[in-house]
Structure 1
Amino acid sequence: MSAYCRVTYETVFDDELRVFVTTQLIKYVLFMRGQVPCLYDELLHLVERFRRKQHVDPLKIQRLRVRGGLQEAVKCVEAAEQLFRGHLDAVFATQVKRVALVFGSSTMSPREAFIVDFQEVVTEKKDADGCVSSTAPSPPHLDVTGASLEDSPTRILRPARALSREKVMHLCAQKCMRAVSTHLMQHVSSALPATKLHVAVLAKRQPTRVAGFIPKQHFKLRLPNDKRGVRTHYVTICSKAACENDESMSTEASADTSDSDMLWYVLEQPIPGFSEVISTRSSGQ
């Protein structure tokens, strides 16, 4: 079974904002689907504290001789940080249409999937030479006094001082997390057994390698077929104008996967989830 979640923004999503929201979404679903025992940032803090005590450079990717849940935490954080610290930026520089977050032992045997589509309205204009260029509308100045940036798609916005870039990014991520949280509360009743998180990105075909991702020429995105509950979650992130042009919730068709200019890129190293209890005492040994 499938379920749908649409998140509408006044703010125009550029590549940097898409990367940030996608990063926060991955962190969030890892926790919400029971793949890590605490919020990801708390897990990262624990691992970094352990590394400092062990006099290990946090940027080095190496296997640490630790026991139990902490060892699994290190493996999880290592894989995730490689994705967050560069791989996502690299792949999102390639004009991304869709991101698939697939839980399972492999992409061929999915247990649960989150399909994230990015919809944006662009307008075409011709320059003096007759060439066509695409532009997106400028983001508005937003007043968020006493409320979140995107509390309601129908909220009336009034002119105000411009928010900082960092503030806009965090508020946009918060709105997405709230929408996904509400969606999961409505459609999911149990945690997912510990497994791997695979990330597949449908993006414009590139002549050179995208760091951290493997191009899949004949990749077919397999979705869970378990009919006992919702196992596929479609999340559409769109501008208000894009949503007004497409009120249909048939999200499967929102990304043209047959476009010859588009190609699936699959994360080379999936993020391993774990369910072991983390011993905070062991981090000080």
Structure 2
Amino acid sequence: MLLLQRLGWAVVILFGVSALTFALSFLVPSDPARTVAGPKADRETLELIRHEMGLDAPVPVQFGRYLARLVRGDLGRSYVTRENVRDAIIERLPATLFLALSSLALAIVVGIASGTLTSLRVGSGVDIGVLVLSLVILSVPVFWLGILLLDVIGYRLRWLPLGGFGGLRFVLLPASALALRYAAYYGRIVHTNMRQVVNEDYVRSARAKGLGPVAVYGRHALRNALIPVTTLVGLDFAGLMGGVVLTETVFNWPGLGRLAVDAVFNLDIPMIMGTVQFSALLVVVANMLIDLLYLVIDPRIRLSS
């Protein structure tokens, strides 16, 4: 029942994104026919191209045709390069997913480790130092973090490549720039939850049974402390995709973010609409997967649903 509700909301959200992107396309200060035909095209040619593109039809008819094409998976062609938008997105999707998932994994691992460590040493120098560092990281925009890492680690120390797409060495800098803010945030959440959970009766019972610290904190306390973090990961995925756009631009990463930025500068309406629509689909799918994971982690949700 819960998954059916989520599926229904996913359809509503995707429809809303489709309507919004379609409406905003009329605000772009560009004539699609002029972009396709070039600056020297005469009026008759422009009118013919508008008719072939369906731009002379009433707005509701245009929107209906747009939705019909979306259902078929047809995102149109770029006004600038004449490239198929869907093919362009699919070509760049692996690079974006590689960066996004690497960043998410790094944020979760670092956040859980720092939050657990500081919760076991409350008030110590490690706890205070991690807290101060987390506040500093949370106050710095992601693109400034990217530029800072690029300058210090890539340019001055030359430990990692300055940009481009390749193996693990190429993804470390952009993934770190994208992951640090989320790692700091998750670390504080895990820290707070662990301090609350360790005083629960089931944790005290585990201690009373003679279980070791690893079993008490790892199997009992940490698992329950991670439940809110699981929800936050799904909610933060949309913000993560927004950060990908800036990060890919800073590090010259050939993914959807760079594709979207280039489309905006070129006023390429189909490419802009396609990347926004596809990014919304990624966010919706990611949230549904997080809901499934939430059902696995917290049995109470399975029982209530």
TM bin, normalised by shorter chain, reads under 0.3
Normalising by structure 2, report the TM-score: 0.25
Structure with a larger share of its residues in strand: 1
Structure scoring higher RCO (CA < 8 A, sep ≥ 6) equals 1
Normalising by structure 1, report the TM-score: 0.26
Structure with a larger share of its residues in helix: 2
Structure number with greater Rg is 2
